[in-house]
Structure 1
Amino acid sequence: MAHITWIENSTLCTALLDDVPVCALKTKDIGGVTASWLDGRLWAPPSHMPKAMPQVSRFFAEIADAKLAVEQYLHS
């Protein structure tokens, strides 16, 4: 199984998959977090917009939600 670690500072968290950066979580000034893949992966379109194109970035209300989504995606 892949090993996921996080490097954190005040506005940015980076997910490392086996010591390779794969996703960056950036805290927004207005609240929330943007999760952006660094390695060509794409987030699936939201369920309420099934015809939308997959995106490199996705918005989350909380950093814990973003971390959980990244970890679930990487473990699937």
Structure 2
Amino acid sequence: MAHVIWEHNPPTTWVGTVDGQAVCSVKRKDIGGWTAAWMDERLWPAPPHLPKAQPQPTRFFGGLDEAKQAVEQALSA
């Protein structure tokens, strides 16, 4: 996995940086869960249950750790 440093910007945002450059922000949603949004041209693939959907720059996750892990895995791929 990529070595991502997570910086907390209270109260609801985490910013992932690699080599000092911000690559993704993870924000808590009022409705519950978290969204991970790329800060560059990257796109999240369409979810398996929506095969015709287009890739998007933002993806929803149920938990903070799940979102952080997905970002780190995507960066190491």
Q: Distance in 2 between matches of 1:59 and 1:3?
A: 22
Amino acid at match of 1:11: T
User: Contact (CA 8 Å) 1:2, 1:18: kept in 2 or not?
Assistant: no
RMSD: 1.3
Q: Which has the higher contact order (CA 8 A, sep 6+)?
A: 2
Aligned pairs, how many?
76
In the alignment, structure 2 segments of 5+ residues that lack a partner are: none
How far 1:4 moved relative to its partner? 1.3
Q: Percent identity?
A: 50
Q: Does residue 10 of structure 1 match 2:3?
A: no
Secondary structure of 1:42 counterpart: coil
Amino acid at match of 1:64: D
Q: Distance in 1 between matches of 2:65 and 2:34?
A: 9
Taking the TM superposition and a 5 Å limit, the aligned residue runs for 1:30-49 are: 30-49=31-50
Amino acid at match of 1:7: E
**What TM-score do you get using the length of structure 2 for normalisation?**
0.92
How far 1:2 moved relative to its partner? 5.0
Taking the TM superposition and a 5 Å limit, the aligned residue runs for 1:35-74 are: 35-74=36-75
Q: Distance in 2 between matches of 1:2 and 1:58?
A: 19
Which aligned segments of 4 or more residues in structure 1 are displaced greater than 6 angstroms? none
**What TM-score do you get using the length of structure 1 for normalisation?**
0.93
